[in-house]
Each structure stands twice: as structure tokens, then as C-alpha cells.
Amino acid sequence: MKVKHVKLFLVSVSLFFGALFLASCTPSQAQASKPGALLWGENCVRCHNAPSPSAFSDSQWEVVGKHMRIRASLTADEVDKIVEFLKMAN
């Protein structure tokens, strides 16, 4: 049991720092000031490949937007801007 815990701890620490290292080159920006296209690129790839705007029609994006807002606990502001962008770019 002990060895397992140590292994797990080492795995977690290396995952965390590995990711921080990879992330260190991206500039920071407050969520609220980001445009929809950027939020789409950052958020819609976290669980699955991001769908392109042309995948759905305006009214379909409204349903998908609600579904993903709830499923992924995205913030209201993010989803509004992303759906706006998808409807404009499809």
C-alpha cells in the first residue's frame, strides 16, 4: 500500500509540474476580456475535439451551448460569447 501511495504522489507531482512547464509560455488574460473565438479555442477542446462553427446551424448552436454550459460548468459569459462567435462564423 505504501509503495503505491508514493508512486501515486510522484505521478501527480510530475503531471502538475510537467503541465505547468508546458503552460509557462502562454500569456495571461482575464476571462472577461476574451473574445468568443479565443474562448472557443481554449474551452471546447478540453474534453473532445472542438467542433468547427460550420458543424451546426444557429438554432442548433443555441441548444449545444446550453448543453455544454451545464455539462462542462462553463461560465455564462463564456458560453454567451462562444455561441455568438459560432453563430457568426458558421
Partner 1 sequence: MRKVLLILVLCTAMLSAQEKPGESRFLLRGYAHSGVEVRGDETTFVGGSFNPIFLWRQSDKLLFEAELEVEYENGETLIGLEYANMSYIINDYATLRLGKFLLPFGTFAAKLHPAWINRLSSKPLGFGHDGVGPARDLGVELRGGIPLGEAKMTYSVYMINGPALNDGTNPNVEPEEAGMLLYDLGEDNNNNKAIGGRVSFLPLSNSSMEIGFSGLYGKVGSVESKYEDVAALLYAVDFSYVSKVSFLSGVVDIKAQLNGVRVDDASYFNVEDSSNYSFSNQSSAYYVQMSYRPVNMSTDFLNSLEFVGRYSELSFPEGALWTSDQTQYAFGLNYWVDWRTVVKLSYQFADTGAHESEGEEGEASNDAIFLHWAFGF
Q: Residues interacting with ligand HEC, by CB under 6 A? A: 43-44, 46-48, 51, 64, 67-68, 71-72, 74, 82
**CA gap 52, 31 in Å, rounded:** 22
23 binds partner 1 per the rule CB under 8 A? yes
- 2 or 46: CB nearest ligand HEC: 46
Q: Residue 3 binds what, of partner 1, ligand HEC, none (CB under 5 to 8 Å, by partner type)? A: none
